[in-house]
Structure 1
Amino acid sequence: MRPLRYSINVTLDGCCHHEAGLPPDEESMRFWTAEMERADALLFGRVTYEMMESTWRRPPDGVWPDWMGASEIAFAEAIDQAQKVVVSSTLASVDWNAELLRGDVGAAVQRLKAEPGTGLWVGGVTLPRALADLGLIDEYEFVVQPVLAGHGPTLLAGLREQIQLELVHREPFGSGAVAMRYRPKPSAD
């Protein structure tokens, strides 16, 4: 069974708005590129899909924008080429190597997890909360930014039940950010 990994940047006070942390640097871009490359497919809700597509989709002329350095281009190429699954009840269609997922999200994600491969990746805010409530996330990876945002959406706000986690990996960055990977603790039944 393929594990489902949830990865996101988060500030020390729990804000997970995409602009709340430190500006991306080469080290963090290498980290996120590796995350994209180790996933068989990326799961997005509509908002995250549209945000990522508007920034990281290869332009029609094939030339990446001038603002991108080597590390941004590597990330853009990894995410551009990745298979994507978009959960949405409002989009009529998707492209960008994507398929549209409608209906029972839990059952559909369970089917995706049952397929052979190395793993699935989910990002964003709303979809991961729903998947966490269903007990479908196998790993939580938070890149904790040394920033206090003081506002914005917070990580997994509104979970129905507490999820106990155990730390399985920690990777400090030169910027002061720390990537921490957790797995749900087995139940004590």
Structure 2
Amino acid sequence: MRPLRYSINTTLDGCCHHEAGIPPDEESMRYWTTEMERADALLFGRTTYQMMESAWRRPDTGTWPDWMEEWEVPFAETIDQAKKYVVSSTLNDVDWNAELVRGDLGEAIQQLKQEPGEGLWVGGVTLPLALADLGLIDEYEFLVQPVLAGHGPTLLSGLRERIQLELVERRELRSGAVVLRYRSAPVPV
């Protein structure tokens, strides 16, 4: 069974909004590119899918926009080419190498996890909360930025039950950001 990893940028106070003062830098973009390359597919909710598509889909011209730094292009190419699944009850169709996921969320994700491969990668805020509540996330990966946002949506806000985790990796980046990777810990009997 392939694992499901929740990966996201967050501030020290747990804010995970993309406008919370977490500017990408070359090192973090390289890190996320490598992590995304390891995934068989990306799993997004509607909001995250539409946000990522508007920023990272290759334009019809084939040329990346002028705002994009040269060091952002590998990330853009990786996410643009990646297989994607979109969980949405409001979208009628998707493209950008994507398929809609409908019906019972738990059953649908269990089916995706049963397929052979290295793993699935989920980002965003709302969908990961639902997946965590269902006990479907195997790993949690946070790139913690040295910023206090003081506002915005926070990481897994509203989680129904506590989830015990065990640290499997810790890496410091030159920017002062820290990558923390955890896996779900077995529940003591």
Mapped to 1, the partners of 2:112 and 2:2 lie a distance apart of 8
Q: Which residue of 2 aligns with 1:175?
A: 175
Structure 1 stretches of 4+ with a deviation exceeding 3 A read: none
Q: Which residue of 1 aligns with 2:6?
A: 6
Task: Describe the SS at the equivalent of 1:24.
Answer: coil
How far the C-alpha of 1:69 sits from its partner, in A, is 1.9
Task: Describe the SS at the equivalent of 2:61.
Answer: coil
Q: Which residue of 2 aligns with 1:151?
A: 151
Identify unmatched segments of 5+ residues in structure 2. none
Mapped to 2, the partners of 1:142 and 1:178 lie a distance apart of 8
How far the C-alpha of 1:3 sits from its partner, in A, is 0.4
* Cα shift readout 1:11-55 (whole Å, capped 9, x = no counterpart): 111100012143111100001111211100000000000000000
Mapped to 2, the partners of 1:129 and 1:85 lie a distance apart of 17
The answer as to 2:94 corresponding to 1:90 is: no
Mapped to 1, the partners of 2:107 and 2:42 lie a distance apart of 17
- What is the total number of aligned residue pairs between the two structures? 189
Partner amino acid, structure 2, of 1:181 = R
Report the aligned-residue RMSD: 0.7
If the length of structure 2 is used for normalisation, what is the TM-score? Answer: 0.98
The answer as to 2:134 corresponding to 1:134 is: yes
Partner amino acid, structure 2, of 1:113 = K
Task: Describe the SS at the equivalent of 2:144.
Answer: strand
Task: Describe the SS at the equivalent of 2:176.
Answer: coil
Q: Which residue of 2 aligns with 1:67?
A: 67
Partner amino acid, structure 1, of 2:15 = C
Identify unmatched segments of 5+ residues in structure 1. none
Task: Describe the SS at the equivalent of 1:129.
Answer: helix
Task: Describe the SS at the equivalent of 1:23.
Answer: coil
How far the C-alpha of 1:150 sits from its partner, in A, is 0.3
Partner amino acid, structure 2, of 1:124 = G
Partner amino acid, structure 2, of 1:125 = V
Mapped to 2, the partners of 1:104 and 1:166 lie a distance apart of 29
